[in-house]
């Protein structure tokens, strides 16, 4: 049996993100087993390339042109039931994990139903919705950092709004344990459906129907100390329907930036700057991107 090639050069990045934007990766690999990790790390070091860990590509903006990095797509998937919850590998799609938990009668993840991306990306950004953040449920993390494996308890880890305990570029999340509770599967499934319908009422749609990265900006705190939704502020400054090149603002939700056709990274950055300028002039607050610029999150 011929071994599966582990590395590829000049791989197009646009198909690997839900925005469908970006140039090419200088080097690309797909991680299917933890045993492949040392070889990937060694190749990156030998080539002098920083690593970029890629999950579902759902909260991400790749640069135009050649991305000078070793992009590693995480395919470690699987869920194992435990006495008080589950353990899941980081490449597991978040929607698949939520659906598995619902079918199996595990409650806790329902508020996150319908959110795209992988568990690893969700951990990195402490994804949240409907009053629930992922780290509300995390019990333990297994990760690879600075050449060694670590298992860390949730206690003592500092997280915040849309920020996991570590910068995205400093380590590789392997798996996590989630504390969930038992409940009738039919009740959990119904709750998931309700949260999904609530989500779909607000957003223009999920990929691949809509080329979007979800909420583009984080919800800010105004100078008065009041917390407001970024979408509300953007709508107030007339953001809906604005566009720069092929990048536009959804007519349905002002915090959803979409690829209207052949958008480039430069289009999205230009639109982002324009929107932030309008909000700053009107409300005196600087919006921060929730979508990650890939070139700012490289593991060196």
Active site residues: 162, 215, 290
Sign of the Cα pseudo-torsion (251, 114, 178, 60, in order): negative
Of 91, 133, 84, the closest CA to residue 106 belongs to 84
For residue 200, the surrounding DSSP H or E stretch is helix 185-202
Given the DSSP bridges, would you call strands 138-145 and 24-31 parallel, antiparallel or unpaired?
Answer: unpaired
Cα separations in angstroms, 188 against 114, 115, 183, 198? 14, 16, 7, 15
Structure tokens at 194: 């309700």
* Look-up of token digits 């869920």: 79
Cα separations in angstroms, 157 against 48, 91, 140, 166, 197? 31, 22, 10, 9, 33
44 vs 196: CA distance, rounded Å? 40
Residues contacting residue 114 through CB under 8 Å, at least 6 positions apart: 95, 195, 196, 199, 200, 206
In DSSP notation, 225-242 reads S-B--HHHHHHHTT-TT-
């Amino acid at each position: 049996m011929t071994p599966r090639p582990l590395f590829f050069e000049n791989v197009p990045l646009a198909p690997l993100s839900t925005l469908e934007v970006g140039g090419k990766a200088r080097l690309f690999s797909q991680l299917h087993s933890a045993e492949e990790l040392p070889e990937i790390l060694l190749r990156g070091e030998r080539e002098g390339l920083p690593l970029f860990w890629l999950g579902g590509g759902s909260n991400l903006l790749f640069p135009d042109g050649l991305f000078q990095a070793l992009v590693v797509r995480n395919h470690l998937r699987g869920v194992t039931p435990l006495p008080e919850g589950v353990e899941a590998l980081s490449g597991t799609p978040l929607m698949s994990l939520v659906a598995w938990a619902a079918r199996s009668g595990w409650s806790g993840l329902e508020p996150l139903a319908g959110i795209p991306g992988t568990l690893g990306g969700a951990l990195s950004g402490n994804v949240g919705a409907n009053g629930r953040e992922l780290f509300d449920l995390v019990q333990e993390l297994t990760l690879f950092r600075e050449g060694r494996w670590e298992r860390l308890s949730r206690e003592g880890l500092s997280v915040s709004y849309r920020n996991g305990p570590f910068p995205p570029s400093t380590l590789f999340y392997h798996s996590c344990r989630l504390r969930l509770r038992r409940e009738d599967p039919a009740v959990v499934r119904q709750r998931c459906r309700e949260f999904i319908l609530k989500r779909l009422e607000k957003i223009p749609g999920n990929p691949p129907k809509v080329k979007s990265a979800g909420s583009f900006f984080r919800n800010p705190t105004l100078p008065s100390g009041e917390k407001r939704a970024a979408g509300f502020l953007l709508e107030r400054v007339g953001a809906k329907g604005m566009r720069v090149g092929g990048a536009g603002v959804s007519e349905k939700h002002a915090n959803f930036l979409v690829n209207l056709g052949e958008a480039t990274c430069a289009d999205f950055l230009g639109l982002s700057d324009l929107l932030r300028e309008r909000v700053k002039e009107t409300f005196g607050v600087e919006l921060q991107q929730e979508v990650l610029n890939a070139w700012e999150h490289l593991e060196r």
